[in-house]
Amino acid sequence: MKHGGDLHDAKAKFPEAPEPWIDLSTGINPQAYPFSALPPEASARLPATGAVRDLEAIAARAYGAVDPAQVVAAGGTQALIELLPRLRPPGRVAILGPTYTEHAECWARAGHVCLPAADLAQALATRPDVVILVNPNNPDGRVIPGSDLARAAQALHDRAGWLVVDEAFADLEDGVSVVPRLGPAMIVLRSFGKTYGLAGIRLGFAIATTVIADTIRPHLGLWSISGPALAIGAEALADPAWLLAQKRALRLVCHELDHLLVEAGLTIEGGTWLFRLARHPDALTVFSDLAQAGIWVRPFSHDPNLLRFGIPLPEALPRLATALGQRAR
């Protein structure tokens, strides 16, 4: 499985599994933001440049950027991950891993030499032009302190490099984001759809110095963000009360999920409030048994003993408990 979320594959591989499927293969909030009814013009008219700037200003406040001009809205973080490698000449790119594989694949396709690194010190020791990391990391939830990132960014700035910090899972983690201490070599990526449970609308942001932001913005092209995405993103990012409530609710479900996994013989290895990483000596059998019960989780080729579980809706916990219980017996 290259990515989570493809229930078409799940149904093809396990056609006799009961419906409806419970998709726990992604790190997407199962409780989507309850956005208001969209005005007709959101879909009927071309997205206005002014609406994009308005959204970027709202995102700047939500993420802690000091200047809205530092925020670049895009049609999903993946679009930015694919764009950034084309904005530099081929060079050496150190990537802290294991992590989201699209970073390495996109930079390699653009002609860069990708160097795997286990930690930040090892990454910097390779004398790279660019260092890329996910913070908190996917899939283990590892967090690198902002002070360490600031020092790394300064070292890269001294040789005209970049530090790319993918904060796709930072919204729910207090004090993790490096945006408030943004350095001159930093590019921070923020994903809207994961936390707000609306991955399908495709919205993401790059946050960087105005010089770098102004380099990124023209390459996105005209109307790169849909009218519905602009309206929904602006409403959701201006609603801190909903985000706070989600932090509380997701923590409760995470604790219940951890208990179920441990009771079934799995060991929790890490995660965030949007996914949990668990280990089992026969993880592929656990994966198969859950799939036959209509529950789709995420295995990994780099370590066949690991499984990642997205956070289920509370009402899905009994079905998961039953499937895990049946397997435990």
pLDDT in tens, 166-213: 999 999 999 999 999 999 999 999 999 999 999 999 999 999 999 999
Domains of the chain: 7-32+241-328 (3.90.1150.10), 44-238 (3.40.640.10)
Q: What is the mean pLDDT of the chain?
A: 96
pLDDT in tens, 304-326: 999 999 999 999 999 999 999 87
Whole-number pLDDT of residue 5: 84
| Ranges assigned E (strand) in the chain | 22-23, 71-74, 92-96, 113-117, 130-134, 162-166, 186-191, 204-208, 267-272, 275-279, 295-296, 298-299, 306-310
Compute the average pLDDT of residues 63-79: 98
Whole-number pLDDT of residue 1: 63
Whole-number pLDDT of residue 4: 85
Strand partners, 70: none
pLDDT in tens, 117-166: 999 999 999 999 999 999 999 999 999 999 999 999 999 999 999 999 99
Statement: the pTM of the whole predicted model exceeds 0.85 = yes
Q: Is the pLDDT of residue 328 over 80?
A: no
The contacts of residue 101 (CB under 8 Å, 6+ apart) are: 2
pLDDT in tens, 23-62: 999 999 999 999 999 999 999 999 999 999 999 999 999 9
What is the 3-state secondary structure of 124-178?
A: HHCCCCEEEEECCCCCCCCCCCHHHHHHHHHHHHCCCCEEEEECCCCCCCCCCCC
How many angstroms separate the first and last alpha carbons of the chain?
27
